[in-house]
Amino acid sequence: MLTPVPGCTHLKVLVPDPSPASTPSPQPTRDTRRTAAHLVLIALEVTFGLRPAHQLTPRRFDAAVRIHVTARLRATRGAQEIRGPVRLDSLHTRPDGEVFGTAVTGTRTHAFTARIDDTRMRSFRVL
């Protein structure tokens, strides 16, 4: 809001509106984190060819997730083969359902991001 400068009627100064008191957002529960880790691990293992693609069931994984994972699997089929299991190195969950972190396969580290609603993965990307 613009308010006049004392003693100068033509000069005004911008005074920011007071911000409302922020309330802390609820933290994700342990069950939410466990569900997210389980869904992410399944998606990563299918992405790297360690599980068959039919394990991405429509009840737990949205169509966008299944399309991205199978497309990435096809694109990397002839590339360097992933050796060893997938290990979640870090997993961060946010109250709005955003999940992100890193996973290690053999000697490579991969970043991922996902959106999870309740027990269903809505989107997933390996970066």
Give 109's strand partners. 104
Q: Among 21-30, 57-66, 74-83, whose mean pLDDT is lowest?
A: 74-83
Q: What is the pTM of this model?
A: 0.75
How far, in whole angstroms, is CA 40 from its chain's centroid? 9
DSSP state of 61: B
CB-based contact 65:53 (threshold 8 Å): no
Structure tokens at 49: 């060819």
pLDDT in tens, 12-34: 777 777 777 666 667 778 888 99
pLDDT in tens, 30-57: 888 999 999 999 999 999 888 888 999 9
Name 9's Cβ contacts closer than 8 Å, sequence gap at least 6: none
Nearest to 38 by CA among 21, 27, 51: 51
What gap in Å lies between CA 108 and CA 125, rounded to an integer?
16
Instruction: Determine whether 48 is exposed, middle or buried from the number of CB atoms within 10 Å of its CB (0-12, 13-18, 19+).
Output: buried
